[in-house]
Amino acid sequence: WNTAMYGWWLTHNACHQRTPDHGMVVGSNTIFQPMVTWTTDGWQNYNQAIFYFKEGSVNVEGNLTDIHLVDANICFTTGSAWNGKGTICSSRNGGTTWTTDLWSDDVLYSITFPTAQVGYAVGGNGFILKTVNGGASWSMLSSGVTATLQAVDFDSADVGLVVGDAGLVLSTTDGGATWITENSSTMDTLYGVDCLGETTGFAAGDAGTIIAKAGDPATLIADASTVSAATGGMVNFTLQAGTDHD
């Protein structure tokens, strides 16, 4: 790894590298202004934009929690405002200027767009939001839970996973119309998730926890030999130092 940039008291919470050349990181600066930093040449050089969330005509300080780059120009972030509310912001010019598209009563932590038109965002109190028109409008989905949802990832417009507090794992195969609470075999909060289809996914969180879901346990390379049906197809595993894990 090489250091692409460094800043005292700058907080970067999330990144999305759309191509080897085009990527963006988001967070906040020293005075809690939302901040984005992006590159179009593989981090040989970078640009920054600092802005405020807009609630009406009022500037609101806060922190950006996640980023998704839809294409070279369109990008979306989730955010946490100082007043405890959540936001979705978008840029249509590659990150130079930003608009606050949505306010929610709870902080939003994660956002993903499996297609240019379909996107999902998740956050506190079981919030799941969905757009089917490229972020022009968002609607609330019923998650069936009130826990904080920390991360979301979709393999397609319909198939996705959401993870959150106390080992919560939710799955859907119908675009969020219905959600299944899966047995994750852990009570540790999960902060990251990767969905690779209906039967395969990975999540990571507190206490070094990494869990995997695999339709065919033989394809999972981990320090566990089977995926038990009793745990809903989930397995905890730990990567050991000095062990080759492909």
Distance in angstroms (rounded) separating the CA atoms of residues 75 and 65: 13
User: Got the DSSP string for 26-76?
Assistant: EEE-TT--EEEEEESSTTSS-EEEE--EEETTEEE-EEEEEEEE-SSS-EE
Report pLDDT digits (tens) over 98-122.
Answer: 999 999 999 999 999 999 999 999 9
The rounded percent of the chain whose pLDDT value lies above 70 is 83
Q: Is the pLDDT of residue 241 over 50?
A: no
Report pLDDT digits (tens) over 60-80.
Answer: 999 999 999 999 999 999 999
Position 185 scores a pLDDT of 87
